[in-house]
């Protein structure tokens, strides 16, 4: 069975992430979406439990998808899951540098590590969780970018 890991912050999950999940399950039999507990130096907007719950609800139509979380290194999470292939979405050239660095760093930590990049629909190439949160915070319409459940959670969070 071909299994891949789809790691990310997912703070929160957007239609862009869901587009990548849908493409990944056309190529892999099983996709483990794994939510990073820590999102770099900044404080996440949603707790890891909230982020996992939102993805579980939004991806429930795909039986190939399971959702979990991880702390620490991605290569350790991959090893613990017994998976060597990681999926990442590549939206624009601006993503490339970071992804290139991350893939090669991970490969130097674990030579078996492989990263596969999928491009989302052109409708989502500009989309990011950070921008969606800013629009929500400023009272704009986020319905084209996130599923209704996530829209509700963002509205609650920012009371807009
Ligand atoms: O959705 P994001 O924020 O682009 O996801 C980035 C993520 C969580 C996949 C990346 O930061 C990560 O793998 N973090 C775990 C820590 C790690 O393994 N760092 C070393 C390789 S960069």
- Residue whose CA lies nearest to ligand 1 atom number 3: 9
* 106: CATH: 3.40.50.620
Give the chain's domain count.
Answer: 1
Q: Mean pLDDT, 10 residues at a time, over the chain (160 residues)?
A: 97 98 98 92 93 98 98 96 97 91 96 96 94 96 97 90
Flag whether 131 is in a domain: no
Flag whether 109 is in a domain: yes
pTM of the model: 0.96
At residue 93, the pLDDT reads 85
Residue 156 CB neighbour total at 10 angstroms: 10
| CA distances for 139 relative to 116, 127, 130, angstroms | 36, 17, 14
Flag whether 152 is in a domain: no
- Residue 75 Cα, ligand 1 centroid: separation in angstroms? 10
- Residue 37 Cα, ligand 1 centroid: separation in angstroms? 10
């Amino acid at each position: 069975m071909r299994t891949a890991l789809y790691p990310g912050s997912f703070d929160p999950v957007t239609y862009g992430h869901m587009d990548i999940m849908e493409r990944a399950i056309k190529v892999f039999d099983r996709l483990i979406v794994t939510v990073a507990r820590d999102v770099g130096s900044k404080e996440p907007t949603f707790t890891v439990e909230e982020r996992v719950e939102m993805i579980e609800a939004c991806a429930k139509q795909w039986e190939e998808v399971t959702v979990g979380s991880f702390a620490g290194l991605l290569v350790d999470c991959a090893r613990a899951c017994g998976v060597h292939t990681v999926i990442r979405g590549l939206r624009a050239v601006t993503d490339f540098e970071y992804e290139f660095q991350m893939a090669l760093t991970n490969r130097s930590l674990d030579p078996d590590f492989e990263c596969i990049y999928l491009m989302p629909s052109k409708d989502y190439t500009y989309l990011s969780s950070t921008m969606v949160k800013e629009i929500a915070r400023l009272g704009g319409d986020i319905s084209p970018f996130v599923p209704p459940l996530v829209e509700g959670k963002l509205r609650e969070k920012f009371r807009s």
